Structure 1
Amino acid sequence: MDNLSLVTIIIIVANAIISYKGFGDFNFFEKYKFQIGAIQRGEKIRMFSSGFLHADTQHLIFNMLSLYFFADVVINHLGAFPFIIIYVGSLLLGNLLSYYFHKNEYQYSAVGASGAVSGIIYSAILLQPGMKLMFFFIPIAIPAYLFGIGYLLYSIYGMKNSIGNIGHDAHFGGAVGGYLFTLLLAPWLFQTNMLMIVLLALPIVLLYILKRTGKL
């Protein structure tokens, strides 16, 4: 078993065990989910623990499959330990952005590894922007960088219009985490992938402008 399999399996197993504990134990779920009021009362552990809880089995499977498909790209380029840094950093940054946008909504709550997984996806795209992605509803492969840009633009749209019961802000924050931590850990990308760095930064700049101008 190589580092890729070991690290990925450990994270997937941890998510599965903690999520299934939450499925069957309401008090456990309530104690460790992301919840604005509780965090403001000092329960900072929720900023981390909520990333290992999920709303249901479908939510869990979707996130873990997404992680599995992109994890190898990051680990093959950077190694297992940097992968963990990006995963945890993206989880925390996703929740920090969510906290920032909902800090006055004391009952706001959320769960899921989506922020962390978004960070790994964005990291993989930054490291290997030329890879092609296929989706069952799109009959042709699309470049990974186009998916990354589109993903964040949709997240901004979802945040602005409160679409669905989805933590778009955590997704966006996680992707930004993947972007920033990858550049810190792989500064050589500034020599090899500068155009992609600029292109993938555009949605981040757009979010900043929208927030500064009060349009979000």
Structure 2
Amino acid sequence: MFTLAIIAVTVLVSWRAFNDPRLLGRLILWPPALTRHRQYDRLLGYGFIHADWTHLLFNMITLWSFGMQVERVLSPWITPVGYLLFYLSAIVVSILPTYLAHQRDPNYRSLGASGGVSAVLFAFILFDPWSKLIIFPIPLPIPAFLFALLYVGYSLWMDRRGGSSVNHSAHLWGAAYGVLFVVLLQPAVVGHFASALFG
């Protein structure tokens, strides 16, 4: 399954980058590298490196928890390779607003798979809104749709507040992309979601 392959590659590249500043520096999203040197591969590469083991494990555990189920649903519609492209495109799309906002900021950097992971998580919520999620550090399971509301609200608040090292904008755009991708691919999902949520 491609979800497991994505996790394996991300863990391997992140682990290598923990010990190799040159690799980290080459993959991290640093806006001047795109505007001055046309290193557009950074729009994807940043999603395969992480700040530390906690950052990496949180993203990969979330992807493992929901990615395989989303892959099972999407693969008959767009093939397993299509699912892989969905994840990779989510990494790119989720960072574009951040890049455009900081393209002239030589001090800005961003890394991590959160945008792609958010896209997968929110696609899953469309399929099963009442599924119970346990998200650290909340010890109690909460319905997926309620988590989605809290997640979006918190990310909007933190993004507007600023001053955080976490790229909340990428979380929001990744989540929006995941929902939009699935709805455009299979509009009947909207009816399924509503029926599952209110039925």
TM-score bin, normalised by smaller chain: 0.7 to 0.9
Paired residue for 1:73, among 48, 69, 72?
69
Tell me, yes or no, if the aligned pair for 2:128 and 2:196 is still in contact at 8 Å.
no
Gap runs ≥5 in structure 2: none
What displacement does 1:70 show? 0.8
What displacement does 1:107 show? 2.1
Tell me, yes or no, if the aligned pair for 1:155 and 1:168 is still in contact at 8 Å.
yes
Q: Equivalent residue of 2:166, what SS?
A: coil
1:68 and 1:174 map into 2 onto residues whose CA distance is 17
Tell me, yes or no, if the aligned pair for 1:37 and 1:107 is still in contact at 8 Å.
no
Aligned length: 192
1:136 and 1:168 map into 2 onto residues whose CA distance is 17
Q: 1:114: which partner in 2?
A: 114
Q: Equivalent residue of 2:34, what SS?
A: helix
Matching residue's letter, 1:100 = L
Tell me, yes or no, if the aligned pair for 2:129 and 2:143 is still in contact at 8 Å.
yes
Structure 1 residues 194 and 45, CA, compared in 2 at 3 Å: closer, same or farther? Answer: same
Structure 1 residues 138 and 12, CA, compared in 2 at 3 Å: closer, same or farther? Answer: closer
Paired residue for 2:41, among 30, 45, 48?
45
Supply the RMSD in Å over aligned alpha carbons.
2.0
TM-score normalised by L of structure 2: 0.88
Matching residue's letter, 2:177 = G
Matching residue's letter, 2:35 = Q
Matching residue's letter, 1:48 = L
1:13-92 equivalence runs, <5 A: 13-41=8-36, 42-79=38-75, 80-92=80-92
1:75-134 C-alpha deviation (Å, 9 max, x unpaired): 222223343232112111111122133234232101111110011001111121121223
1:29 and 1:135 map into 2 onto residues whose CA distance is 28
Structure 1 residues 196 and 34, CA, compared in 2 at 3 Å: closer, same or farther? Answer: farther
Tell me, yes or no, if the aligned pair for 2:122 and 2:178 is still in contact at 8 Å.
yes
What displacement does 1:73 show? 2.4
1:163 and 1:141 map into 2 onto residues whose CA distance is 30
Structure 1 residues 196 and 46, CA, compared in 2 at 3 Å: closer, same or farther? Answer: farther
TM-score normalised by L of structure 1: 0.81
2:152 and 2:68 map into 1 onto residues whose CA distance is 22
What displacement does 1:72 show? 2.5
Q: 2:129: which partner in 1?
A: 129
Q: 1:183: which partner in 2?
A: 183
Structure 1 residues 19 and 139, CA, compared in 2 at 3 Å: closer, same or farther? Answer: closer
What displacement does 1:183 show? 1.3
1:22-74 C-alpha deviation (Å, 9 max, x unpaired): 11111111111101111112111100011001111111111100100011221
Higher strand share: 1
1:67-216 equivalence runs, <5 A: 67-79=63-75, 80-135=80-135, 137-138=137-138, 140-194=140-194
Gap runs ≥5 in structure 1: 1-5, 198-216
Q: Equivalent residue of 2:134, what SS?
A: strand
Sequence identity (%): 32
